[in-house]
Amino acid sequence: MDETYVGLTGPLQVRHGKTAVTAPLNQALVAAGVEAGYPETKDPNGYMQEGLGPMHMTVDSNGMRSSTSNAYVRPVIDRPNLTIHTDTHVSRILFDQNGGKDQPSPNAIGVQCTNGESIHTSHDNPNSEVLLCLGAIGSPQLLMLSGIGPAAHLNHVGIEEIVLDSPNVGANLQDHLDTYIQYECEQPTTLYPDATFPHRMLKSGLEWFGFGTGVCASNHFETGGFVRTRAGKLHPDLQFHFVAGAIVGQAEFIKRHAFQLHCSTMRATSVGTLRLRSKDPNIPPIIDPQYLSTEEDVVDYRNALRLAIEIIEQPALDQYRGQRISPSNEYDLEKDEDVDRWIRETTHSAYHPSCTCSMGTVVDGEGRVVGVDGLRVVDASVMPSVVSGNLNAPTIMLAEKMADHIKGQGMLAVEEDVEVYVARDWATSQR
């Protein structure tokens, strides 16, 4: 693993991964992208997103995930003004009424838990607030359980006390789809031995526990890129993640040397919803993402599959590339109907749900729930539209900015006109 810092995001540690055994294969992918006509980029989070190159990961110098828990919570866990309740399921938000008789507005004063415990905001601080940070599924669910949401739907599931008729709570659900193309590998440059053979797994685990190094010190999405699926796209709308291994489902490695290239379209036009199944907080909500419900999304994903295969079949990968595992030969990739069938059979969520309490409809620009006092939402649900990349760093950035608003601090000084790369012929050329 590369021990050189490539950046810091607040207290997070950000690095490039560089696993020795898989490095040749990762480098060959970038070279293949260049051969296919795409630029090479050294920093997809900087000036030049477009192209293929090394990816960032939030991993610290000990090979541990630099999560928000490790970076933000653990360093302050002993503060006297912080109380952490574990194994606690919040069932609803508690309100009182303030304002005049003619126009009372609900005021959030705490939360009720399923174990019967009530947790209230500070009575000593009139500026105390309830902050929802439950994500794009949990935050709209809790709002609706608490009587904030589309009134007709809430009444339908048995919630009679409507605190605020807010039709857009749970609407505008956006996500990234993901699928992957798999090939056998002709060279021993993959994770297959370390992920399959017990003695290699034991060795890798001991190296990581003892020294924070080795194959366990990386997430192995060390290389990837962002490209445009067709001419007329101003910015990249397709993300690639490369893994020097082939996996069935989420965790089972194919037992031979192989690799896979994930492809995810970034700006889908399909929009879904989240609705309550029941007023019982223990029953999961109904999540209907409406994936691939527009023709534009189908065409973009069709292009994504073909572009991914085009990159893999470049000369730079000739010495590594074996037979294609997936899509299998059952699918004629020259036929749109076969490509579409394979996509619908194999795509799954990239776990980037967002936008269900979006700014401008449910919350304002500082995360405050419109129509309610003392209540904010601080998570990916407040995004108006899903970002063109992974959600981890943007959500942390959003939370940092919301924290400044909550504390009454001004915005950080930034340059207003930061130049970013745009392909010269973007309107007429796809690469």
Q: How confident is the model at residue 193 (pLDDT cuts 50, 70, 90)?
A: very high
Digit-coded pLDDT (tens) for 247-291: 887 778 899 999 999 999 999 999 999 999 999 999 999 999 999
Among candidate residues 16, 56, 176, 352, the one labeled active-site is 352
Rg (alpha carbons) of the chain, rounded to whole number: 24
- The token pair at 360 is 């401008």
Beta-carbon count within 10 A of 260 CB = 21
Q: Annotate 209-225 with b (16+ C-beta within 10 A) or e (fewer).
A: eeebbbbbbbebbbbbb
Interatomic CA distance for residues 342 and 137, integer angstroms: 28
- Quick one: which H or E segment has residue 260? strand 258-265
Task: Check residue 75 and report its DSSP letter.
Answer: G
**What integer pLDDT is reported at residue 99 of this predicted model?**
47
In single-letter form, the type of residue at position 346 comes to T
User: For residue 419, which phi and psi values (nearest 5 degrees)?
Assistant: -75, 135
Measured over the CA atoms of residue 180, residue 186, residue 191 and residue 195, the dihedral's sign is: positive
What are the CA-CA distances from residue 21 to residues 24, 92, 244, 415 (Å)?
7, 50, 9, 41
| Amino acid sitting at position 104 | P
Q: Which pLDDT tens digit goes with each residue over 60-101?
A: 988 999 999 999 999 999 999 899 999 999 999 999 865 445
Section 54-59 average pLDDT: 93
Q: How many CA atoms does the CB half-sphere of 43 hold within 13 Å?
A: 9
- Cβ neighbors of 422 (< 8 A, separation 6 or more) are 234, 235
CB 325 within 8 A of CB 184: yes
Quote the mean pLDDT of the chain: 92
Domain ranges of the chain: 16-48+177-267+292-346, 85-169+352-407
| Length of the chain measured in residues | 431
pLDDT at 3 over 70: no
352 has catalytic annotation: yes
E strand segments, 18-165: 51-54, 56-57, 90-98, 105-113, 118-120, 130-132, 148-149, 164-165
Give the pLDDT confidence score for residue 311 in this predicted structure: 97
- Across 266-368, the runs of DSSP E, i.e. the strands, are 273-275, 286-288, 321-326, 348-349
- Using DSSP bridges, classify how beta strands 130-132 and 5-9 pair: parallel, antiparallel or unpaired: unpaired
Q: Is residue 298 classed exposed, middle or buried when 0-12, 13-18 and 19+ CB atoms within 10 A define those classes?
A: middle
Domain 85-169+352-407: give its CATH architecture. 3-Layer(bba) Sandwich (3.50)
Return the residue matching tokens 């935050």: 139
DSSP-assigned letters across all residues of 181-219: EEEEESSS-SSHHHHH-HHHHHHHHHHHHHHS-SGGG--
55/220 Cα distance (integer angstroms)? 10
Query: Scanning the structure block, which residue is given the tokens 């796809």?
Result: 430
Q: For residue range 148-182, what is the model confidence (pLDDT) as tens digits?
A: 999 999 999 999 999 999 999 999 999 999 999 99
Q: Is 3.40.640.10 the CATH classification of the domain at 16-48+177-267+292-346?
A: no
d(CA 270, CA 297): 7
Query: 376 pairs with which residues across the strands?
Result: 131, 368
Residue at token pair 């309550």: 276
- Does residue 424 surpass a pLDDT of 70? yes
Q: What is the pLDDT of residue 61?
A: 86
**Counts for the chain of helices (H) and strands (E), in that order:** 9, 21
Residue with tokens 């009182």: 96
Distant-in-sequence, close-in-space partners of 98: CB < 8 Å, separation ≥ 6 = 104, 105, 107, 373
Degrees to nearest 5, angle at CA 288 with 287 and 289: 110
**CA gap 34, 316 in Å, rounded:** 9
Taking only the tens place, the pLDDT of each residue in 111-157 is: 999 988 898 987 778 789 999 999 999 999 999 999 999 999 999 99
The whole-number pLDDT of residue 98 equals 57
| Separation between Cα atoms, residue 146 and residue 109, nearest integer Å | 12
